[in-house]
Amino acid sequence: MTTLHDTLSALPRVRLAHLPTPVEPLDRLRAHLGAAPRLWIKRDDCTGLGMGGNKVRKLEFVMAEALAQGADSVVSGGVVQSNHIRQTAAAAAKLGLECHLAVMTGRVPKVDPDYNDTGNILLDRLFGAHCVMLDWKADRNAVIASLIDGLRARGRKPYMVPYGASSALGAMGFVLAAVELLDQARALGTRFTHVVHASGSAGTQAGLAVGLAALAPETELIGLDIDAEPERVARDVTRVAREAAAMLGVSLHDRSITVVPGYAGDGYGLPTDGMLEAVRLGARLEGLVLDPVYAGKGFAGFIDLVRQGRFAMGDNAVFWHTGGAPALFAYRSLFG
């Protein structure tokens, strides 16, 4: 009988990430919070390539498709401090592909003076990406289409990497990640009852939803909206999850998709008191580096759920660290 792992193994994949990433207890945080459940963290900030992050898992499948199609260049888009385009640029450098990025400025107001020159954007350029800067309100899809047309006119073979690498194909990286987490739970002699993470472009949550629905439907997956667009995030996660499930021939269940609002504050990339506390607690109690945009707000939500009593005695709740450390330097005034 063909297993889910067999089906995933048959898909084209280029190995880019350091896997498996560690699962570690958060015992000092647990003691600080006086928490009844055991608290854990899944360290996808340790995927290695380009300073790591969750997008590397997705890019293993997306870049494999690019290579299979004979691409010699990739095109993608994101904001100045996008973790996705930084990891895409690193993957392209590793694979010898030219990288062209539509980089959107102005989404986050009142930024540090060097916001547009440090953090992720600094690494994009260091990895050799060709960055076209445009205003957030501009037609970004038209700019990306123009980049693709220009490359084709020069005889190149570009491949479009979707925003966040969050297609059904990219989600395969997180279906496989669910398999990895369950293997680690067995090795630890425990069962993870809840998995919590920051949710934005949909692919991470969609893949985990499919994998857990197929292999551990009793595990609750909780996505925390960091875009201040919970309805949009939930729609995107549902769409990508259904497409990914169809690719694998598995079924979702009624509890598969949960997107919790309330942790984004006034908008994407804007600081919140909860995020500031979470970043400091993670650093000072557990030696973690959490970015202010994704993992920091996600960790704030995780801490809040613990304080609310969402997890009971005997539960094992995992926070999935999605990476993003370079963006912290673009927000240095918040932590000075």
Residue count of the chain, please give it.
336
- Let me know if 82 is a catalytic residue: yes
User: In the block, which residue shows the tokens 């997306």?
Assistant: 62
Catalytic residue, from 9, 73, 76, 82: name it: 82
Among residues 290, 94, 298, the alpha carbon closest in space to that of 204 is found at 298
The Cα 75–Cα 298 span in angstroms is 28
Active site residues: 82
